[in-house]
Amino acid sequence: MLNTLVSLSPSLKFYWLIGGVASLLSIASLIGWLLKSRLARNPQPNEKSMKVVNNLVARVNAWWVMVAVFAIAFLAGKLGTIILFAFISYFALREFMTLTPTRAGDHRALSLAFFVLIPLHYYLIYTEWYALFTILIPVYAFLLMPCISVLAQDTECFLERAAKIQWGVMISIYCISHAPALLLLDIPNFTGQNALLLFYFMLIVQLSDVLQYVFGNLFGKTKVASVVSPNKTLEGLIGGGLSTILIGAVMWWITPFTPMQSAGMAAVIVIMGFLGGLVMSAIKRSLGAKDWGSMIEGHGGMLDRMDSVSFAAPIFFHLTRYFFTP
Amino acid sequence: MLIQFTRLGLIGLVKLLVGANPRWVDAAPSLEQSIYFTNHSSHLDTLALWAALPVGIRTRTRPVAAKDYWGKGKIKRFIALKVLNAVLIEREVSRHSDPLAPLLEALGKGDSLIIFPEGTRRTQVEPGDFKGGLYHLAEAFPQVKLVPAYLNTLHRSMPKGSLLPVPLICTVRFGGTIALQEGEHKKNFLIRAREAVLKLI
């Protein structure tokens, strides 16, 4: 069975994966529908469980849309995938900057971040200009954005503003872009299959979130970080994390890794994703909000869905690059 | 066809730039004839509020725009008159004509309106003092609902003199309707109308 899977062509593997995800979502939709109709039969429905079930259904529906968008971008090839992630960065940065108190003096630097930096950075991934890709934002944008802002001569909270803008740009553009940057890695014996590695990464990050949510809702008792993120529980983290690592090991046939390496990579993704979720939640709260936005029904904003991606992607990218490319 | 296409394109562009997500705070969207009045902080205001309205309401709601700006040039005129179906008014008050006449005419035909009672743009969080127009419209058409609205981030998205906007999510908050009370003084009514907008901040 496994040998057949490994020897499938990349595009056949992709169809198997999409089929697998669609079946998982169908099961989730069915469970949501069953829970909903069971609640509807109850003459005095518990308001809290009603809320949880409605949110579950909304989340699953949004997942269908996200998976469809993702599948279309994948089928459109490298350019389609890169454009999709450029838009994800755009929406993430829009949410970050909406909550960040910037001033009129930052206007030009911000405009350039949206309309020049995002296209340029993703263009570098497209043309596989790796060296400039790694330093464009940490070096050039880091130095030039405050240079542009300073011309407005507004010193009120200058350091805070510059720091917050840099954070927003790092998280929303630089970190998230390391997921599609997997496409530019030259991995021996894996040529032409990098899109599958990106699929693997996104699958593991998102499964980790979903399974932690499921385990947390079913068995969650002990809060891990009640102040920062009241929904995260120890039971959710352990149950969701371990099952994700197991799935990661089983999915080794779409990666350049052995099953053990694949489990290790999945573990790194789970841990970084979990911690990233906590950090982003703390930032969100320090900016005075509960959700980053409302663009994805049931989930919140784009950054609520991409918070774990932004922390896991650069580490996963560099581990893969260090250990699996010449 | 071209009009429909441009309309969809404009709405798509506005949503891509600033979101323009509606939030009905103390009110539900209603098809009844209404005057939506809101703070004026950028060039995107009209489009953002218009895009935030549900499509059924949007088609019967006309923004009010300044003739000296939107009446000039072929493209601007096309967008104002055909795409937005705007009511153009003179900003300069002259002795010979009533600047509110086109608005009264539109209300007489049963259209809803979007107006900016401050008159001019002000790139700040709080709206400035309201001018008398809203009062005169409310007096002439007491049955028309007056719906306050607040646009929250557009003064940051597009401050005066900026070339490119900064995309920030604008939530368009709609509040509960207010009405001109029997014998209410103009000044008091305008203060009350402004407070209805301030309450949404």
Q: What stretch of H or E contains B87? A: strand B87-89
Does A147 share its domain with A282? Answer: no
| Alpha-carbon gap, residue A266 to A316, rounded angstroms | 9
Q: Is B165 within 8 Å of chain A by CB?
A: yes
CB contact under 8 A, B169 and A98: yes
Q: Which of A91, A94, A304 to probe by mutation at the B interface, max B CB count within 10 Å?
A: A94
CB contact under 8 A, B169 and A293: yes
Does A34 share its domain with A137? Answer: no
| Range(s) of the domain holding residue B127 | 2-198
Our CA-based measurement puts residue B5 at a distance from the nearest CA of chain A, in whole angstroms, of: 23
Q: What stretch of H or E contains A307? A: helix A302-324
| Alpha-carbon gap, residue B169 to B153, rounded angstroms | 7
CB contact under 8 A, B167 and A90: yes
Task: Find chain B residues with C-beta within 8 A of A98's C-beta.
Answer: 153, 168-169
Q: Which of A37, A52, A75 is the last residue of a domain?
A: A75
Distances (CA, A) of A62 to A68, A208, B84: 10, 17, 32
| Alpha-carbon gap, residue A134 to B104, rounded angstroms | 60
Kindly state whether residue A230 falls inside one of the protein's structural domains.
yes
Does A44 share its domain with A89? Answer: no
pLDDT tens by residue, chain A, 326 residues = 566 777 788 888 999 999 999 999 999 999 999 998 888 887 777 788 888 888 889 999 999 999 999 999 999 999 999 999 999 999 999 999 999 999 989 999 999 999 999 999 999 999 999 999 999 999 999 999 999 999 999 999 999 999 999 999 999 999 999 999 999 999 999 998 999 999 999 999 999 999 999 999 899 889 998 888 888 999 999 999 999 999 999 999 999 999 999 999 999 999 999 999 999 999 999 998 888 988 888 888 999 999 999 999 999 999 999 999 99
Q: What stretch of H or E contains A247? A: helix A234-250
Does A69 share its domain with A90? Answer: no
Backbone angles phi, psi at B148, to 5 degrees: -75, 150
Q: Which of B168, B169, B201, B158 has its CA nearest to residue B42?
A: B158
Q: Which of A95, A107, A293 sits opposite B166 (nearest CB)?
A: A107
Q: Is B169 within 8 Å of chain A by CB?
A: yes
Kindly state whether residue A163 falls inside one of the protein's structural domains.
yes
- What is the tens place of the pLDDT at every residue in B169-183? 999 999 999 999 988
HEC sequence for A161-184: HHHHHHHHHHHHHHHHHCCHHHHH
pTM: 0.94
Does A53 share its domain with A125? Answer: no
Does A110 share its domain with A146? Answer: yes
How many folded domains does chain A comprise?
A: 3
Mutual orientation of helices A47-75 and A77-99 as an angle, nearest 10°? 140
CB contact under 8 A, A111 and B162: yes
Kindly state whether residue A246 falls inside one of the protein's structural domains.
yes
Task: Find chain A residues with C-beta within 8 A of B169's C-beta.
Answer: 94-95, 98, 293
Closest residue of chain B to A101, computed from CA coordinates? B156
Backbone dihedral region of A300: left (phi > 0), alpha (psi from -120 to 50 degrees) or beta?
left
HEC sequence for B5-42: HHHHHHHHHHHHHHCCEEEECCCCCCCCCEEEEECCCC
**Do residues A202 and A70 touch, judged by C-beta distance below 8 A?**
yes
Q: Which of A41, A75, A109 is the last residue of a domain?
A: A75
Does A64 share its domain with A149? Answer: no
Give the CA angle between residues B201, A156, B19 to the nearest 5°.
40
Q: What is the DSSP string of A3-25?
A: HHHHHS-HHHHHHHHHHHHHHHH
Residues in Cβ contact with A121 at an 8 Å cutoff, skipping those fewer than 6 apart: A89, A133, A136, A137, A173, A174, A177
Query: Strand, coil or helix: what is B48?
Result: helix
Q: Which of A19, A40, A75 is the last residue of a domain?
A: A75
Does A196 share its domain with A270? Answer: yes
Question: Residue A316, Cβ neighbours under 10 Å: how many?
Answer: 25
Does A106 share its domain with A170? Answer: yes
- What is the tens place of the pLDDT at every residue in B26-54? 889 999 999 999 999 888 999 999 999 99
Kindly state whether residue A182 falls inside one of the protein's structural domains.
no
Closest residue of chain B to A102, computed from CA coordinates? B156
Does A70 share its domain with A168? Answer: no
Q: What is the DSSP string of A45-110?
A: --HHHHHHHHHHHHHHHHHHHHHHHHHHHHHTHHHHHHHHHHHHHHHHHHHHHHHS---GGGHHHH
How many folded domains does chain B comprise?
A: 1
Residues in Cβ contact with A62 at an 8 Å cutoff, skipping those fewer than 6 apart: A296, A297, A298, A299
Quickly tell me which residue has 């371990």 as its tokens.
Answer: A242
Q: Which of A98, A108, A115 sits opposite B168 (nearest CB)?
A: A98
| Range(s) of the domain holding residue A213 | 187-326
- State the ipTM, two decimals: 0.91
User: Over the range B141-160, which residues count as b (16 or more CB within 10 Å of their CB) and which as e?
Assistant: beebbbbbbbbbbbbbbbbe
